[in-house]
Amino acid sequence: MIHLSKNQWITKIGRFSRLGGEDATSFNRSAMFMRFIKSNWFILALLLLVLAAIFRNKIRIAVQPPPGQTVQPIVQEKFTENSLATQHNDQMNLFSGGSVGPAANVQPSATEAFLRRFSKTAIAEHKKFGIPASILLAHACISSNAGKSELAQQANDFMALPCGDAWDGATVELQGRCYRQYNTPWESFRDFSIYLAAQDWPASLRQKSGMDWEPWVNAMGKHLNSNPGAYNKTMKDLIMAFRLFELDK
């Protein structure tokens, strides 16, 4: 057993008293700090918001270009769900003066909207019948004046298919000619695919040219249009302007 003298006990007790006093002082400081936070939280929050606004403004000033210099805006090319590129500004008057295809009074935005709307339909027909989607979509756009023609509006005939002797479905007569009538635009695409599949030249073209769209354009103009020169040019311009050939991949 350890025996301490009276002086040693006094010294030890004083040391513990000092330690206890330091802990009490630290606790009191913490309590005062918390009371200060609770009583002034609104002012402190405002100060933080002011500091954040100042910091943000400094960042905005820092990224501004030097005087006399301009930053070129980033031009982002638009694509459809199937990588269908939009028409550039220098191609906006592509159809003006043409005797076939979307007329001059059809806005380019209407042409783009038509191509976006029926791109998936053309791809589905391409997969089923082996006809390039670019050909089907461009032909439908030209034949229906981007969906604005009277035949497309009244009869859903986007391909301008005449009645013919073998047609026993609904019909509509416009400008003295008989055309096929459909319940939906999709029926027009499907009937046109069936019509092409029943011809001899598409099968031969598939074997020789595959999905090369340019021979298809020439063949379509030869077999389906009375003015193949104008038709071929409009088809090619349309396919190239909107990169419709990307739908054939």
Do 221 and 178 have their domain in common?
yes
Do 142 and 103 have their domain in common?
yes
Do 31 and 134 have their domain in common?
no
- Confidence label for 37 from pLDDT (cuts 50, 70 and 90): confident
Do 100 and 142 have their domain in common?
yes
Residue 217 pLDDT > 90, yes or no? yes
pLDDT tens-place string over residues 82-140: 333 333 333 333 333 333 345 545 678 899 999 999 999 999 999 999 999 999 999 99
- CATH number of the domain residue 105 falls in: 1.10.530.10
Domain that holds residue 42: 8-63
1 occurs within a structural domain: no
Residue 129 has a pLDDT of: 93
Spell 31-44 as b/e; 16+ CB within 10 A means b: eeeeeeeeeeeeee
Do 118 and 207 have their domain in common?
yes
Residue 228 has a pLDDT of: 86
Residue with more model confidence, 57 or 39: 39
Closest among 237, 239, 196, 198 to 219, alpha carbons compared: 196
